[in-house]
Amino acid sequence: MNGPDQIETDISRTAELLGEKLGARGRDLSAALAKARHRLPRRIHRQASRLAKAEPLAGHPKLRLTLDSEGLHAAASEVQTHLAAIDLADQRKGWWLGMLGGLAFNILLALVLALVFLRWRGMI
C-alpha cells in the first residue's frame, strides 16, 4: 500500500530509526533530524527534510491527499535503507580505535621529545 495513508507510517519509522541508530530523538521527525544534522550525508538529510516538511500535512486527512506519496515513499525508503545499514558496534569499535591511536601517537611524541631534550642537554 503506497497510498497517502502509508506516508505517516514511513515518517514514524524513519524517526524511530533516527532514534535507534543515531540517538537523535525528538517530539517529531524535524526535531530528531535537527539533532542528527551532521551525522547524515547531504543527500540523505535532504530526503529526510522532505519527509519532515510533509509530516504536518500527513496528519490531516484532506491535506494528506495533496502530498506526492510516491516521491515521499521513495525518499523514506532511501533514508531508511541508509539508517538500517549503520552498524553501531562498528562505530563504537572505530571510536575506540581512533582514541587509542591518538593516545599512542601522543605517548610516542612525548617520548621522542624527551629523548631530544635529554640529548640536547647532553645527558645522553
Question: Would you tell me how many other CB atoms lie within 10 Å of the CB of residue 75?
Answer: 21
Mean pLDDT of 62-76: 91
Q: Give the residue carrying C-alpha cell 591518538.
A: 102
**In angstroms, how far apart are the furthest CA atoms of the chain?**
85
Q: How many CA atoms lie within 13 A of 59 on its CB side?
A: 7
**pLDDT value at 1 more than 70:** no
Of the candidates 57, 25, 30, which has an alpha carbon nearest to the alpha carbon of residue 45? Answer: 30
Q: Which range marks the domain in which residue 4 is found?
A: 1-86
Supply the pTM of this predicted model.
0.77
Are 46 and 79 within one domain? yes
pLDDT in tens, 73-93: 999 999 999 999 999 999 999
Are 77 and 26 within one domain? yes
Cell, residue 97: 580505535
Residues 22, 36: contact at Cβ < 8 Å?
A: yes
pLDDT in tens, 24-47: 998 999 999 999 988 999 999 999
Are 15 and 74 within one domain? yes
Are 30 and 70 within one domain? yes
Mean pLDDT of the chain: 93
The pLDDT of residue 59 is: 87
Are 55 and 100 within one domain? no
